[in-house]
Amino acid sequence: MTAQTGPLDGVLVVDLSRALAGPHATMMLGDQGARVIKVETPDGGDDTRGWGPPFVGDPGARESTYFLSTNRNKESITLDLKDAGDRELLLRLVDRADVLVENFRTGVLERLGLGIASLQERNPRLVVLSITGFGHDGPEGGRAGYDQIAQGEGGLMSLTGSGPDDPQRVGVPIADLLSGMYGAYGVLAALHERERTGRGTVVRTSLLAAVVGVHAFQGTRWTVAGEVGRAQGNHHPSIVPYGLFRCRDGSVQIALGSESLWRRFCDGFGLDPATPGLATNPERVAAREQVIELVEGVFSAWDAEPLLARLAEVGVPAGKVRTLDEVYSWDQTISQGLLVDVEHPTLGPVTLPGPPLRFFAPNGDEVTRRDHLSPPTLDQHGDSIREWLSSETGR
């Protein structure tokens, strides 16, 4: 067992999940000090170990960068849950666990003799996080869920793209990631409740729920106003100007989220903020194409870098569109602790995207965890976990 540090130090998480939604939730818990034991199948482990390219490492010991992205701060043990002996070992883990995370299709655990009710009967303090594709019940409760399908079924793709006839997926598996984030949030709430009641609860979420949960203003646009939002490219449906605008040698983004910013922008670039038909945001939304043409006409005399400098000088929120190599080499990214260096057992030193949270003591000293564990190789900790379970304390 490796010592952990962080707000969740002392919390034991048994991770039966695979792919991305569940593993992202357990990585978030591990980032904050929980001990996460990842239970994998003996025949290759987590699905994402085979998702690539890119793969890195020597032949015979190659690692998927996809797997590396979502499994830091975990230990790995392989168990065949159809084998009675391995099921018994899992139950011994459950007896000691604070949290169990699973994303099997509805009914799979029951068929394995590992139903959630029976697990909580063994360990009444156990918090269970269950993530499904479309929910564990309802008319389509047993339906398999994958990220892109959920993005489409949950309406997100209809809001993303160059226009209404060009639905696009988000460039990362956002339904998986969001359901993992919601799941980790639910686990923390359940652990807090357990301090009061002494009993664990079951937390359920789904890819569908996560996507619907972030509809934000697009949701109430329909439920309250009766308007169906549709994709319209890189410009905001309710705020103008707010989006990506062409300039002489590329493009920049601006976000004028208030009338004071509109006036500041106009003053900085020689425009009249009280131009008839453009003086208020509702008017500008109605005249969207005219405003875009106006802004891009002004920007056509500027290259991107001096334009961004001028926008900063004027006090207008603006930015560029960075590629990922630019993001990870950016001083601001590095300053926020968004890269972590770990020692991988076969790859050696590697740099990973880091946790997005930082913690500070009342005196201002940063107390964010720094000693992160590399994503494990398959069954890397199997022997040590078995030895730990056979010890008298097991804790």
- 196 contact partners, CB below 8 Å, separation of at least 6: none
* Per-residue pLDDT reduced to its tens digit, 261-309: 999 999 999 999 999 999 999 999 999 999 999 999 999 999 999 999 9
**Are the CB atoms for 176 and 207 separated by under 8 Å?**
yes
Instruction: Determine contact, residues 257/213, Cβ cutoff 8 Å.
Output: no
364 φψ region: left (φ > 0), alpha (ψ -120 to 50), beta (else): left
**In the prediction, which pLDDT does 2 show?**
46
Does the pLDDT at position 4 exceed 60?
Answer: no
Percent of the chain with pLDDT over 90: 94
Q: Are 23 and 64 in contact (CB under 8 A)?
A: no
Q: pLDDT tens, 228-274? A: 999 999 999 999 999 999 999 999 999 999 999 999 999 999 999 99
Pairing of strands 242-247, 35-40: unpaired
Tens digits of residue pLDDT in 190-224: 999 999 999 999 999 999 999 999 999 999 999 99
pLDDT for 59 equals 87
> Do 45 and 2 contact (CB within 8 A), yes or no?
no
Token digits of residue 3: 């010592």
User: Could you give the 3-state DSSP secondary structure of residue 258?
Assistant: coil
- Rounded Cα distance, 352 and 328, in Å: 10
Count of Cβ atoms closer than 10 Å to residue 379 Cβ: 17
Q: Exposed (0-12), middle (13-18) or buried (19+): which is 2, by Cβ within 10 Å?
A: exposed
Rounded to 5 degrees, φ, ψ at 360 are -135, 140
Q: Is the pLDDT of residue 310 over 90?
A: yes
Residues noted as catalytic: 176
**Residue 23 tokens, joined:** 């593993």
- Looking from the CA of 287 toward its CB, the CA atoms found within 13 Å total 14
- Residue located via tokens 């601001």: 332
Model pTM score: 0.93
Q: What is the mean pLDDT of residues 132-160?
A: 95
Q: Which residues contact 79 (CB under 8 A, 6 or more apart)?
A: 39, 40, 41, 42, 86, 87, 89, 90
- The first and second tokens of residue 275, run together, are 């131009």
Beta-bridge partners for 14: 37, 100
| High-pLDDT (> 70) share of the chain, % | 98
Those residues with Cβ within 8 angstroms of residue 289's Cβ, 6 or more apart along the chain or in another chain = none
CB-facing half-sphere around the CA of 341: CA atoms within 13 A? 3
Question: What pLDDT, on a 0 to 100 scale, did the predictor assign at position 142?
Answer: 83
Span 17-36, average pLDDT = 97
Range name among 1-10, 171-180, 222-231, 321-330 with the lowest pLDDT average:
1-10
Residue whose C-alpha is closest to residue 25's, from 220, 134, 187: 187
Least confident of 112-116, 150-154, 203-207: 112-116
Residue 392 in this model has a pLDDT that exceeds 60 = no
Average pLDDT over residues 66-81: 97
Cβ atoms of 106 and 79 within 8 Å: the answer is no
Our CA dihedral for 148, 149, 153, 156, rounded to 10 degrees, sits at: 0
Across the chain, mean pLDDT equals: 95
Rounded-to-integer distance, Cα 287 and Cα 60, Å: 60
pLDDT at position 1 is 43
- The position carrying tokens 């409740």 is 193
336-360: pLDDT as tens digits: 999 999 999 999 999 999 999 999 9
